[in-house]
Chain A
Amino acid sequence: MSIDTRETLRQWIAGVSDKTTPENLADDTPLFRDGILKSIQISDLILYIEELTGRSVDVEQIKPGVFRNIDTIYHNFFAHDHA
Chain B
Amino acid sequence: MLDKVKAIGCTGKRDRGQVVLTGELLDLDTCLDTIFTGWARCWNAAEYRFPACVEARHLERLDYFQSFPHLATFPVTLDRDNDNIGEFARGHACNPQGVVDLPKLSATDHVLTPAACYHVYIELEGEVLNAPRYITTRATCFRNEDEYTPLERQWNFSMREIVCLGSAAEVEDFLTRTTYVINHFAAAIGLPAEWADATDPFFSPASNPKYLFQKLEPVKRELIYGEDLAIASTNFHRDYFGEAFQITRHGQHAYSGCVAFGMERWLSAFLGAYGETWEQWSCLEEFKP
User: How many A residues are at the interface, by size bracket?
Assistant: 10 to 19
In contact, A64 and B216 (Cβ under 8 angstroms): yes
Inter-chain CA distance A80–B133, complex, in Å, is: 46
In contact, A32 and B213 (Cβ under 8 angstroms): yes
By beta carbon, the residue of chain B nearest A63 is: B216
In contact, A39 and B215 (Cβ under 8 angstroms): no
Chain B residues whose C-beta falls within 8 Å of the C-beta of A35 in the assembled complex: 238-239, 243, 253
**B216 CB, min distance to chain A CBs, angstroms:** 6
A6 at the interface (CB under 8 A from B): no
In contact, B216 and A42 (Cβ under 8 angstroms): yes
The number of chain B residues with a CB under 8 A from chain A is 16
Main secondary structure of the interface of B (DSSP, over half): helix
A40 at the interface (CB under 8 A from B): yes
Instruction: Given A32-B238, A33-B238, A64-B218, decide whether A39 and B253 contact each other with a Cβ distance below 8 A.
Output: no
Would you list which residues of chain A between 1 and 53 have a CB under 8 Å from chain B? 32-35, 39-43, 46
Chain A residues whose C-beta falls within 8 Å of the C-beta of B216 in the assembled complex: 42, 59, 62, 64-67
Chain B residues whose C-beta falls within 8 Å of the C-beta of A39 in the assembled complex: 209-210, 213-214, 217, 238, 240
Among A40, A41, A65, find the residue whose CB has the most chain B CB atoms closer than 10 A: A40
Interface residues of A (CB under 8 A from B): 32-35, 39-43, 46, 59, 62, 64-68
Q: Can you name 14 extra interface pairs (CB under 8 A) apart from A35-B238, A41-B209?
A: A32-B213, A35-B239, A35-B243, A39-B213, A39-B214, A39-B240, A40-B209, A40-B210, A42-B213, A46-B212, A64-B197, A64-B216, A65-B217, A68-B217
